[in-house]
Amino acid sequence: MSELDRIRLEYARRALDPTLQDRYSLFRPDVLFALQTRERAAIRLLKRAGFALLERFDILELGCGGGGVLLDLIKWKADPDRLCGCDLLPERVAEARRRLPVGTVLAVADGGALPYPSACFDLVLQFTVFTSVLDRALQQRIAAEIWRVLRPGGAALWYDFRFQNRGNPAVQAIHPRQVQALFPHGTFTARRVTLAPPIARHLAQWSWLACELLALLPWLRTHDLILIRKGKA
């Protein structure tokens, strides 16, 4: 079985698992807390890197799923007509198509063979894509494609987890050192974000303030938010 087929089968399994149906619902306090803290960190990072005026940029989200992050970008004033999204799963792309403006271009695509010309995007986002890919060679191909479609001076915005979930062998944590190996020519600005989900699941329903305070401790944050800049030369 190819790695792409394994990923398709794993997401089909998750879609049928009743224990996962509301795992990422925004009506769950822990999910809402994680989303809002990630959103604040991403906006700060983009602003400091000179990407505050998102409407000026061509943006791709790799692994766009149902379009949630693309909708966030529109909320942050990105131009829908300059947004693109792609995903391996056609049913997710169909869901994103229902939710997003008609000007946003969506495609069913393998991240290791993107259907875009070289140097056509200012920003490429990947949020929890690489940890779903267990094959290192495919990870390298996806990273190479991200780098290929980025314009000089552009950047990739990376969000993924660094600690292995022992209860889920279908994902594989990735450390910032590995990210640097995937993008050896990039300039990195990194932040530790996201309060450990097991803590947030138990605590967010009782005390938002307690979650905020614990999230100040770097060793309790499980994900990395990294801006990887491509040189202009």
Q: pLDDT tens digit string along 182-233? A: 999 999 999 999 999 999 999 999 999 999 999 999 999 999 999 999 998 6
- Reported as a single tens digit per residue, the pLDDT across 101-118 is 999 999 999 999 999 999
**How many CA atoms are closer than 13 Å to the CA of 108, on its beta-carbon side?**
9
Dist. CA 220–CA 9, nearest whole Å = 32
Domains annotated for the chain, with CATH where assigned, are 3-229 (3.40.50.150)
Cβ atoms of 194 and 41 closer than 8 Å: no
Band (167; pLDDT cuts 50, 70, 90): confident
**What confidence category does residue 71 fall into, taking pLDDT thresholds of 50, 70 and 90?**
very high
Distance CA 136, CA 114 (A): 18
Question: What average pLDDT does the structure give for the chain?
Answer: 95
Tell me the CB-side half-sphere exposure of residue 184, using CA atoms within 13 A.
Answer: 2
Q: What percent of the chain has pLDDT over 90?
A: 90
Q: What long-range pairs does 108-111 form, CB within 8 A, spacing at least 24?
A: 110/4, 111/62, 111/63, 111/86, 111/141, 111/142, 111/145, 111/146
Q: Hey, is 9 helix, strand or coil?
A: helix
- Structural tokens at position 227: 């801006």
CB 190 within 8 A of CB 32: no
Q: Which amino acid is at 183?
A: F
Over residues 134-162, mean pLDDT: 97
Instruction: Say what the pLDDT of residue 165 is.
Output: 80
